[in-house]
Amino acid sequence: MNSTQENPQYQPLIEALGAENSSIRLQAALAVGTRPDDAGFVDVLVGRCAVEPDFYVRDMLTWALTRFPATVTVPRLIADLQSAVAQARSQALHTLSKIGDRSAWPAITRSLLRDVDDEVARSAWRAAVILAPDEAKAGLAAELATQFGRGDRTVRLSLSRALVALGPVIEPVLAAGQAHADPEVHEHAAVTERLLLDPDTGFDQAVDEAKRIVALGPERAREVAC
């Protein structure tokens, strides 16, 4: 147990972070972030992230963590990327993306980008796009493209947004995706290309257009486009 957890003056705040009432937990996380004067709280906050059931409280926990020095928070968050608890991995990735310290980039592994848990994978995609150095973006695009056709609308939208955020470097993987034999991969790549070319296009509109193109076939689709 660290010194913060042993310190009697911090016990009420630590207990409040685990209170039954979510409003009390929210206020406790806010209080820690407002006065980030004891780095020992980083362990407490990260530990709470792994089990906190309320979205708004988790968001406040992340905010509180961003208030501490990255030299303290980043190594602790990276350690949680190895956790067997999916929420711990997902929330650690989310918090790393908010901190934005690129020293964490090597910790965004292929296994995280392909995590079987959709929330972990989505968090990994977002974090990777933010943390990747320019020279790694083409490789990241190729890795993300292996996930074309995965999941439901929410998952596919997250992947498309992550790829579009990388910019024109994704064009080769979009072309390859649209040449894929799997119609789900083809469609998802086409949707992403549409979003890259016209960011104002809604995702559902892009899906409808991609389905039409897939149904027509590439040759007929080019004729219609002309």
Residue 180 reports pLDDT greater than 70: yes
Residue 2 reports pLDDT greater than 80: no
Does residue 23 belong to any structural domain of this protein? no
Does residue 114 belong to any structural domain of this protein? no
Does residue 164 belong to any structural domain of this protein? yes
Supply the pLDDT for residue 37.
81
Mean pLDDT of 158-164: 96
Q: Specify the number of domains making up the chain.
A: 1
Residue 225 reports pLDDT greater than 50: no
Mean pLDDT for the chain overall: 90
- On whether the CB atoms of residues 224 and 216 are closer than 8 A, the answer is yes
Would you say the pTM of this structure is higher than 0.85?
yes
Other beta carbons less than 10 A from residue 184's beta carbon: 13
User: Domain span at residue 182?
Assistant: 137-219
Does residue 26 belong to any structural domain of this protein? no
Does residue 110 belong to any structural domain of this protein? no
Q: Kindly report, residue by residue over 196-224, the tens digit of the pLDDT.
A: 988 776 666 766 666 666 565 555 444 44
Report the interhelical angle of 86-99 vs 70-80 (nearest 10°): 150
Residue 1 reports pLDDT greater than 50: no
Supply the pLDDT for residue 38.
84
Dihedral Cα 91, 97, 100, 102, nearest 10 deg: 100
38 conformational bin, left if phi > 0, alpha if psi -120 to 50, beta if neither = beta
Does residue 170 belong to any structural domain of this protein? yes
Does residue 208 belong to any structural domain of this protein? yes
For residue 147, what pLDDT band results from cuts at 50, 70 and 90?
A: very high
Tokens 């006065």 correspond to 35
Residue 112 reports pLDDT greater than 80: yes
Does residue 127 belong to any structural domain of this protein? no
Other beta carbons less than 10 A from residue 12's beta carbon: 9
For residue 226, what pLDDT band results from cuts at 50, 70 and 90?
A: very low
Lowest mean pLDDT among 38-42, 51-55, 87-91: 38-42
